[in-house]
A and B are shown apart, each in its own frame.
Chain A
Amino acid sequence: SQTIHQWPATLVQPVGSPLSLECTVEGTSNPNLYWYRQAAGRGLQLLFYSVGIGQISSEVPQNLSASRPQDRQFILSSKKLLLSDSGFYLCAWSETRTGGQPQHFGDGTRLSIL
């Protein structure tokens, strides 16, 4: 069966520090991968998605970037964190990007910027 792992579960970082969040998927090949952010009291906002190695699409302008160095690895990064980067970050995967295929989520990373 397929599983998705995200780490760390919680992270406290000072303003201006770098960030690297990692997500890996097991049990499937060539998944579509996604990064979402949930701000307090809000729904999930799609940040990045990837349909293959090295292929990244950004949905919103921001202080973050994403990379997919391997088929089942997705990394969310920042060179300098801002206070507004605080939130709950979720990685997800799906079989394809066609409609109807559900996305399956990891357990998320709670990021607090001080």
Chain B
Amino acid sequence: DQQVKQNSPSLSVQEGRISILNCDYTNSMFDYFLWYKKYPAEGPTFLISISSIKDKNEDGRFTVFLNKSAKHLSLHIVPSQPGDSAVYFCAASRGGKLIFGQGTELSVKP
């Protein structure tokens, strides 16, 4: 039973355009949601998080949107840069434990 799902294994975007990464969850008890970025042969790096009581959080080029009624969150990257090419994981938190999605590989083409 996968509580956090990223249904798109890959996404390709042109440099300068918007990247939208999606994540769905099933457990309404999650209190925080986080996004991580991972390069090959490295550990994930924390990007941005959002509390379950909010619907939007913004940090520079990264914005996370939360739709609790749909149990859906998304990460927007604007504008996308080639250096953003990586695997992105969403994670849901309950009691400090994180449950991760399978990841989406983003490729930003020049």
A residues with a Cβ closer than 8 A to B are 6, 9, 32, 41-46, 49, 59, 90, 92, 94, 96-108, 110
Q: How many residues of B contact A (CB 8 A)?
A: 27
| 19 pairs, A vs B, C-beta closer than 8 Å | A43-B89, A43-B100, A43-B103, A44-B91, A46-B97, A46-B98, A49-B97, A97-B95, A97-B97, A98-B96, A99-B96, A100-B31, A101-B96, A102-B49, A104-B46, A105-B36, A106-B43, A108-B42, A110-B41
Taking CB as reference atom, which chain B residue is nearest A110? B41
B102 within 8 A of A: yes
Query: What's the nearest-Cβ distance from chain B to residue A95, in Å?
Result: 10
CB pair A105 B102 closer than 8 Å: no
Please judge, given known A-B contacts A43-B100, A46-B97, A105-B44, whether A100 and B4 are in contact too, CB under 8 Å: no
On chain A, the residues within 8 Å of B62 by CB distance are: none
Query: Considering the chains assembled together, what is the distance between the CA atoms of A13 and B91 in angstroms?
Result: 31
CB pair B43 A107 closer than 8 Å: yes
CB pair A44 B44 closer than 8 Å: yes
Taking CB as reference atom, which chain A residue is nearest B97? A46
Q: Secondary structure at chain B's binding surface: helix, strand, loop or mixed?
A: strand
CB pair A41 B102 closer than 8 Å: yes
For chains A and B in complex, what number of residue pairs have CB atoms within 8 angstroms? 63
Please judge, given known A-B contacts A94-B96, A97-B96, whether A105 and B89 are in contact too, CB under 8 Å: no
Q: Secondary structure at chain A's binding surface: helix, strand, loop or mixed?
A: loop
On chain A, the residues within 8 Å of B98 by CB distance are: 44, 46, 103
Most A CB contacts (10 A, CB to CB) among B41, B44, B46, B93 go to B44
